[in-house]
Structure 1
Amino acid sequence: MRTAYLAHLEAHRDAVAKAGPPAHLTVGCLVISPDGEHVLLTHHRRAREWFQFGGHLEAGDASLHAAATREGREESGIAGLVPERTLVQLDRHTLSGDFGRCREHLDVRFAAVLDRDVEPHVSDESLDVAWWPTNALPEGTRDELSLLVEATRRTLGL
């Protein structure tokens, strides 16, 4: 997967730009409780599905980690959210829904550990933000979310 990402970036110098090719390099941030039993998810307005936080890189992002931090904070409304620096997963997936030119994400995923008493806020990009038990993720959730939860638990030792 890493080799495929690097090849895509080499072939498309604008692969991180929304106006770039139909496949974009993006970042994700799964927020998980310290016991690894709950995750904070966003009900994405455009896709109408539950996901981890994340999205496209912006010009001011100094790194993938910085982009994941910004996206996590924007979409969760939690100013103190800071992902761990360790990557937890690479995931390449096609998009469904109204995403315009963007048809595929090459997602670089991080994770942040937060107590469940931290109160999130719904952003304009979301219909809702809520904690979910990892053994009872929202109905209709893509299989990839379960894989991300397991990769996060394994990587962070939760």
Structure 2
Amino acid sequence: MLLDDVTTALATTTAQHSTEFSRFVRDHEDAALRRDGGPEHLTASCFVLSPDLRQVLLCLHRKGRFWVQFGGHLEREDRTLAEAARREAREESGIADLELLRDELVDLDRHDLHGGFSCAAHWDVGFVAIADPATATTVSDESDDVRWFAVDALPDGTASGLRRRLASVLASVPHRD
């Protein structure tokens, strides 16, 4: 079921790199979805933005020691990529009722991992959620901090490519007032 959803989501997205992601999933099938399926696999993430799109909620990743959007490995109980991204964002932000803006992926990014990671690379699929910055957040055991930042004033120590990815995500979201 999840493999079918992944295949459909990748076939219908306009996000850059969809051909490479589709090829990776086609070549590795279900193993592409599982952290125990090999050193490279899909992950699902969620960019949490303020309603006016001027702020982004980030976590300080404990292993990576960088600020990044919420996300992580797909779990066996996840039925869709969107469900996995929403679950990860809820777990890592503490916002229990967080909902995705839409169930369409808006960002694809393959990145190599180093340091304390057991994986060699993540093929990350990104979604968007909207939350009020006044909403209470909590820090999960995977992070050292969770904080809102202006999208044009991100902190030092962001994950490699985060600024580029965030700019692309913002361009894909209809402006809201």
TM-score w.r.t. the length of structure 1 is 0.94
Specify which of 108, 111, 120 is matched with residue 90 of structure 1: 108
Counterpart among 146, 149, 152 of residue 135 in structure 1: 152
Q: Percent of aligned positions with the same letter in both sequences?
A: 45
Corresponding letter in the other structure for 2:62? R
CA distance in 2, matches of 1:151, 1:63: 23
| Contact 1:34–1:114 under 8 Å retained in 2 | yes
Q: Deviations over 1:117-137 (max 9, x none)?
A: 111100000000000111111
Q: Which structure 1 segments of 5+ residues have no match?
A: none
SS of equivalent to 1:124: coil
1:11 maps to what in 2? 27
Indicate the SS of the match to 1:141.
coil
Determine if contact 1:12/1:21 at 8 Å carries over to the other structure.
no
> What is the aligned-residue RMSD (CA, Å)?
1.2
Question: TM-score normalised to the size of structure 2?
Answer: 0.84
C-alpha deviations, 1:57-87, integer Å up to 9, x for none?
Answer: 0000010000001000010011011112232
Aligned residues: 157
Which residue of structure 2 lines up, in the alignment, with residue 71 of structure 1? 88
Measure, in 1, the Cα distance between the counterparts of 2:80 and 2:124: 14
